[in-house]
């Protein structure tokens, strides 16, 4: 099966809105074993959209659109598709009932133009939209091909794709795909590739890497007649990857979610530990990132943002003499910050961060990107030096990730000291 993604909207074409739908659909299609050779973004122009449809249908079995299902005059996705297919749009009673019910639930008046959201070709399979007013659709396009219309808002598109489109694809694929996502921190993409390159060229299971800032994610996917067989095929693959990469693997999941913060919070919870933070250059980002995880209130007691030297002394009691002798960006200050935070809130572990995020303030001895983390537990206190690079945002984000990873490793007993 070959699919093509066609995103409709001038706001996407002009860069006013980030096209996250294309990324989401592409990743989900790849996880289903569907080939994707092309993507298109088209503005709200009927002639150009018609050309895009004809091109996509000439080279793909499934054309998946996002956007343009609303009630306004520039919502032309369905109308143009019907024109390309030589079909008429008619009022679909099932879809009309869905639209009416949604407006009643929203306590909003349904205007006449909203009726257009219930207009489809007679042979359309309706996709209910429990999160918005515009139903989706699967439209036969001849020669075994289809056009799948999805709404534009991600909070509507993603559940519709997951709950309705993916089962439709699986029912026609003749096989089941099962994936595992291996999340890696502390090893670069090139080294991961060198250690696993022979595994990345296998046909079944397949192994595909992709990256985010400071991290590598591997997707291992097995194809089989049933999910149990596919999952069993993945077990030796995961075991071999763990053997080759070691402790840089911080999570293995059945979905492509997860994060260093989630792993840290869950590790704290499983251990029954609590945590406090003391932050300088990160300005509260370590604590903020953790509390985004549901259940963080059980483990995160609180923290300090001690951005200036005076606040480190006044709030955390870091001795002025230590700062003057060692520099505010130093192992000694990082340790003092973490130790004080742990003691004041009586937590099991505290993490601190002090450093130079730039662009100014660097010296030959301490260039921009010099960062020290402090880790304090009831048994020991130590610093983790970091030598980071990039702009201010990159250095701060990487500091947060290193801090969360260090917390997880300390709890697991993996940190040397």
* pLDDT (tens digit per residue) in 301-337: 999 999 999 999 999 999 999 999 999 999 999 999 9
Higher pLDDT, 97 or 383: 383
* Residue (of 37, 36, 40, 62) closest to 49 by Cα position: 40
Phi (first) and psi of residue 217, to 5 degrees: -120, 130
DSSP 3-state assignment of 61? Answer: coil
Q: How confident is the model at residue 415 (pLDDT cuts 50, 70, 90)?
A: confident
Contact 159, 130 (CB under 8 A): yes
For the stretch 223-273, pLDDT in tens is 998 889 999 999 999 999 999 999 999 999 998 889 999 999 999 999 999
> In angstroms, rounded to a whole number, what is the distance separating the alpha carbons of residues 182 and 273?
25
CB 46 within 8 A of CB 112: no
Q: Please enumerate in sequence order all residues whose Cβ is within 8 A of that of 3, keeping only pairs 6 or more positions apart, or say none.
A: 29, 34, 35, 36, 60, 61, 62, 63, 64
Going 265 to 271 to 274 to 275, the CA torsion angle's sign is: negative
pTM: 0.77
How far is C-alpha 338 from the geometric centre of its chain's CA atoms?
30
**Which residues, 6+ apart, have CB-to-CB distance to 101 below 8 Å?**
none
Among 214, 146, 161, 184, CA closest to 24: 161
Residue 30: pLDDT band by 50, 70, 90 thresholds? confident
The DSSP string of 230-256 is: HHHHHHHHHHHHHHHHGGGEEEEESSS
pLDDT of residue 114: 84
Closest by CA position to 80, among listed 56, 111, 113, 112: 56
Domains of the chain: 2-173 (3.40.980.10), 176-253 (3.30.70.2860), 260-411 (3.90.950.20)
């Amino acid at each position: 099966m070959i699919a093509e993604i066609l995103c409709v909207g001038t706001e996407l074409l002009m860069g006013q809105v980030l096209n996250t739908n294309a990324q989401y659909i592409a990743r989900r299609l790849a996880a289903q074993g569907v080939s994707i050779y092309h993507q298109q973004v088209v503005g709200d122009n009927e002639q150009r959209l018609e050309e895009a449809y004809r091109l996509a249908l000439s080279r793909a079995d499934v054309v998946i659109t996002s956007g343009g299902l609303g009630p306004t005059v520039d919502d032309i996705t369905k109308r143009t598709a019907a024109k390309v297919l030589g079909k008429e749009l008619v009022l679909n009673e099932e879809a009309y009932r869905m639209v009416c019910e949604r407006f009643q639930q929203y306590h909003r008046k349904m205007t006449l133009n909203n009726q257009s959201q219930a207009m489809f070709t007679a042979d359309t399979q309706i996709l209910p939209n429990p999160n918005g007013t515009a139903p989706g659709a699967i439209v036969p396009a001849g020669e075994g091909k289809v056009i799948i219309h999805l709404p534009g808002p991600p909070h509507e598109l993603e559940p519709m794709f997951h709950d309705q489109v993916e089962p439709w694809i699986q029912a026609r694929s003749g096989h089941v795909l099962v994936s595992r996502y291996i999340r890696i921190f502390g090893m670069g993409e090139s080294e991961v590739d060198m250690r696993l390159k022979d595994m990345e060229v296998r046909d079944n299971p397949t192994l595909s890497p992709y990256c985010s800032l400071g991290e590598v994610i591997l997707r291992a996917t097995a194809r089989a007649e049933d999910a149990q067989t596919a999952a069993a095929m993945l077990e030796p693959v995961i075991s071999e990857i763990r053997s080759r990469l070691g402790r840089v693997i911080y999570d293995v999941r059945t979905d492509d979610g997860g994060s260093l913060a989630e792993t840290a919070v869950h590790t704290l919870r499983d251990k029954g530990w609590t945590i406090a933070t003391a932050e300088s250059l990160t300005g509260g980002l370590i604590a903020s990132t953790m509390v985004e995880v549901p259940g963080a209130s059980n483990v995160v007691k609180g923290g300090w943002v001690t951005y200036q030297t005076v606040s480190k002394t006044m709030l955390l009691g870091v001795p002025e003499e230590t700062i003057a002798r060692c520099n505010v960006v130093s192992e000694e200050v990082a340790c003092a910050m973490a130790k004080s935070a742990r003691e004041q809130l009586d937590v099991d572990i505290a993490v601190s961060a002090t450093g130079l995020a730039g662009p100014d303030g660097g010296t030959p001895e301490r260039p921009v990107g010099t960062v020290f983390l402090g880790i304090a537990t009831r048994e020991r206190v130590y610093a983790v030096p970091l030598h980071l690079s990039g702009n201010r945002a990159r250095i701060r984000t990487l500091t947060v990730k290193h801090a969360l990873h260090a917390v997880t490793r300390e709890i697991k007993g993996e940190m040397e000291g």
